[in-house]
Amino acid sequence: MPVLTVREALQQALHEAMADERTFIIGEDIGHYGSTYGVTAGFLEKYGPERIRDAPIAEAGIVGLAVGAAMAGMRPIAEIMSVNFSLLAFDMIINHAAKIYSMFGGKFSVPLVMRTTNGWTQLSATHSQTFDSMFAHIPGLKVVAPATPADMKGLFRAAMADPDPVIFIEHTLMYGIKGEVPDGDYIVPIGKSVLAREGRHITVVTYSRMVHLSLQAADILAKEGIEVEIVDLRTLRPLDMSIALESFKKTNRAVVVTEDWQSYGTSAEIATRLYEQGFDYLDAPIQRVNFREVPMPYAKNLEQQVVVTTDRIVAAIKKVLNRS
């Protein structure tokens, strides 16, 4: 299988999506600027300004127009450069994209894919946040956050084929990550988690970039004889806990790693599901590893203490295993 970066896998998926005449991309600096993270580089030249629509800096408009166009038979891709900016489009996402199907009695749907990015690197308080739980909180949305190049491509295909609004969460620190991507047509279905690594002592439940950090943590712990099983959720809504629960029933211990604030975050939901559905299998309190709960500081030394690191994951796993 060819080895691609996340960026290359996404580019392939987007080119495939553009093969559908109904598809256009609307977003900030996707064309003339050359694409902030390089994903749509060259697209304007190839598809023209009708279909690669450089939008004003107006996030509600970007998503709102995409929602309307999707209702009327197009298959738009709305790109919100940074998830921090998506707050300006939340009315469109939550009050409209997520509601239209049920509010109008299922008479029409919103086949929209909204790409956006989590990420941080000394960007300070308003450019380093993640709102995974806010999207995943909303019935009517489907929310995916893939971790690997193969899943990026496969889930993007699934998102484009889906008649419902899909929030497709990428990560600025993941575009260069490499991985094998299957040749030919394949699809990674929305709502299916996957085992990222087998182990028998403890279950780590995670998704997106945290899968990679958890894998690093598992490598470190393997040298100490601790075998970590890692579950990559891939989709946050609908949340498929079947594999995580299966693993948890085997290991009886779990750590949930998510790159957001702990209170009311995705890890709260994931851990609750483990408690609710796996209570009788619980052998130790579930530990969570997340952002420390402060607005992200700019100073590097402080930022490093806020974000999730491999060391913190290792420490959490050891704590749950009562190892020092």
Partner 1 sequence: MQKRRGATQAEVPAASSLRSTMTSTPFSRARDQLGDAQLVELYRQMMLIRRFEEKCQEMYTRAKIGGFLHLYVGEEATGVGAISNLQSQDHIFTHYRDHGHAIARGLNIDELMAELFGKDTGTSHGMGGSMHFADITKNFWGGYAIVGSHLLLAAGVALACQMQKTNGVVMVFFGDGATNGGEFYESLNFAQLWKLPVVFVCENNLYAMGTPIEVHSSVKEIYRKASAFDMKAMRIDGNDVLTVREQVAEAVEYARSGQGPVLVEAMTYRFRGHSAQDTQKYRSKEDVEQHRSNDPVLIFRKELIDAGVSSAADIDALDAVIDEQVEASVRFADESPVPGNEWLTDSGIYAAPLATATVDPDLV
Partner 2 sequence: MAEITMPKMGFDMTEGTIVRWLKKVGDFVNKGEAVAEIETDKVTIEIESFVSGTLSEIVSPAGSRTAVGGVIARTSDGAVATQTAPTAAPVAAVAPTAAPVAPVAAVAPAAAPVAAVAAGDVKASPIAKRMAREHGLDLGTIHGSGPQGRIVRDDVSAAMAGRPAGMVAPVVAPVAPVAPVAPVAAPALPSAAAGSTVVPLSNMRRTITRRLTQSWQTAPHFYITMDVNMDAALTLRKQVNAPLSKEQQISINDMIVKACGVALVAYPNLNASFVEEGIQLNPSINVSIAVALDSGLVAPVVTNADSRSLGGVSRESKRLIGLARDGKLGAENLQGGTFTVSNLGMYGVTEFDAIITPPQCAILAVGAVRRIPVFKGDSNDVVAANICSITISADHRITDGAEGAKFIGEIKRLLENPLSMLI
Within a 10 A sphere around the Cβ of 20, how many other Cβ atoms? 12
Provide, rounded to whole angstroms, the least separation between the CB of residue 202 and partner 1.
24
- State the Cα–Cα distance between residues 215 and 211, nearest whole angstrom: 6
Which does residue 252 touch among partner 2, partner 1, none (CB within 5 to 8 A, set by kind)?
partner 2
Stretch that binds partner 2, among 95-103, 226-234, 274-282, 302-310 (CB under 8 A): 274-282
- State the Cα–Cα distance between residues 200 and 186, nearest whole angstrom: 30
Which does residue 105 touch among partner 2, partner 1, none (CB within 5 to 8 A, set by kind)?
partner 1
**Helices 6-18 and 149-161, interaxial angle, to 10°?**
20
- The verdict on 276 binding partner 2 (CB under 8 A) reads no
Task: Just list the catalytic residues.
Answer: 59, 127
Q: Which is nearer to partner 2, 183 or 280 (CB)?
A: 280
Letters for 119-158 (x = contact with partner 1 by CB under 8 A, - = none) are --------------------xx-x----------------
- State the Cα–Cα distance between residues 289 and 145, nearest whole angstrom: 18
Provide, rounded to whole angstroms, the least separation between the CB of residue 57 and partner 1.
10
- The verdict on 324 binding partner 2 (CB under 8 A) reads no
- The verdict on 73 binding partner 1 (CB under 8 A) reads yes
- Pairing assessment for the beta strands 142-144 and 235-237 based on DSSP bridges: antiparallel
- The verdict on 310 binding partner 2 (CB under 8 A) reads no
* Residue 196: both structure tokens together: 């990222």
- Pairing assessment for the beta strands 178-180 and 3-5 based on DSSP bridges: antiparallel
- The verdict on 91 binding partner 2 (CB under 8 A) reads no
The answer to whether the beta carbons of residues 244 and 274 sit under 8 Å apart is: yes
Q: Which is nearer to partner 1, 22 or 323 (CB)?
A: 22
Angle at 269 between CA 275 and CA 125, to 5 degrees: 140
- The verdict on 191 binding partner 1 (CB under 8 A) reads yes
- The DSSP secondary structure of 206-268, one letter per residue, reads E-THHHHHHHHHHHHHHTTT--EEEEE--EEETT--HHHHHHHHHH--EEEEEEEESTTSHHH
- The verdict on 252 binding partner 2 (CB under 8 A) reads yes
The answer to whether the beta carbons of residues 259 and 118 sit under 8 Å apart is: yes
Which does residue 29 touch among partner 2, partner 1, none (CB within 5 to 8 A, set by kind)?
none
Residues 214-273 that bind partner 1 (CB under 8 A): 235, 237-242
One-letter amino acid identity for 202?
A: I
| H-run or E-run covering 231 | strand 228-232
Of 317, 318, 313, 251, the closest CA to residue 278 belongs to 251
In sequence order, what are the beta bridge partners of 27? 54, 79
- The verdict on 107 binding partner 1 (CB under 8 A) reads yes
Binding-site member from 163, 176, 182, 285 for partner 1 (CB under 8 A): 163
Stretch that binds partner 1, among 69-77, 128-136, 208-216, 296-304 (CB under 8 A): 69-77
Which does residue 3 touch among partner 2, partner 1, none (CB within 5 to 8 A, set by kind)?
none
Q: How far is CA 212 from CA 49, 134, 179, 310, in A?
A: 37, 23, 11, 9
The answer to whether the beta carbons of residues 28 and 57 sit under 8 Å apart is: yes
Which does residue 322 touch among partner 1, partner 2, none (CB within 5 to 8 A, set by kind)?
partner 2
Angle at 173 between CA 168 and CA 265, to 5 degrees: 55
Provide, rounded to whole angstroms, the least separation between the CB of residue 284 and partner 2.
6
Contact positions toward partner 2, by CB under 8 A?
252, 279-284, 322
Contact positions toward partner 1, by CB under 8 A?
24, 50, 53, 55-56, 58, 60-61, 63-74, 91-92, 95-96, 100-109, 111, 139-140, 142, 162-164, 190-192, 235, 237-242, 276
